[in-house]
Amino acid sequence: MHVVAVKQASKRLNEWVSTFAAAAVSVPSARSQVRQIMTSWGWEGAGLDDLLVIFSELLTNAIEHASNPGDEVQVRLQELKGDCRVEVVDRRPDLLPPALLRPQGERGRGLLLVRDLAADMDVATTKGRKSVWARVQRAEC
């Protein structure tokens, strides 16, 4: 894990950027770091819980579906005026087709969950990389 930047540009904007090895063992550590950062920015309760679920799903998808051994995945949190943009960038620019959901299946629902919890979500592709982001609103405490 490499922390690239932690900024507080103003009282309205916080930003945190880091990279993690594209390995399943990175997810718990990354989630713990995100919890610490968001707590330091005053997030708690349902808003924090939703953000952590969204972050975990986006990071897990990047690791499982868009990474090769030895790759790194970049993560970015940008908080502005009560919202937080959670972004995960991987090195696979193409989009995978949505998996067919099995009624009793345990997999394939991550992005559906993200869409449900997030205020907004999108995917951007450029040469050699893909960015998946979701905007989370801070819950009223």
The pLDDT tens digits of the residues spanning 27-57 come to: 999 999 999 999 999 999 999 999 999 999 9
Q: Domain with 48 in it: what CATH number?
A: 3.30.565.10
| 108-77-18-126 Cα dihedral, nearest 10 degrees | 60
Joined together, the tokens standing for residue 32 give 């713990």
CA 32-27-58 angle, 5° bins: 105
pLDDT score recorded for residue 141: 43
Question: Quick check: 85 and 133 in contact, CB under 8 A?
Answer: yes
pLDDT score recorded for residue 5: 46
Tell whether pTM > 0.85: no
Number of domains in the chain: 1
pLDDT score recorded for residue 98: 60
Residue-number span of the structural domain to which 44 is assigned: 2-137
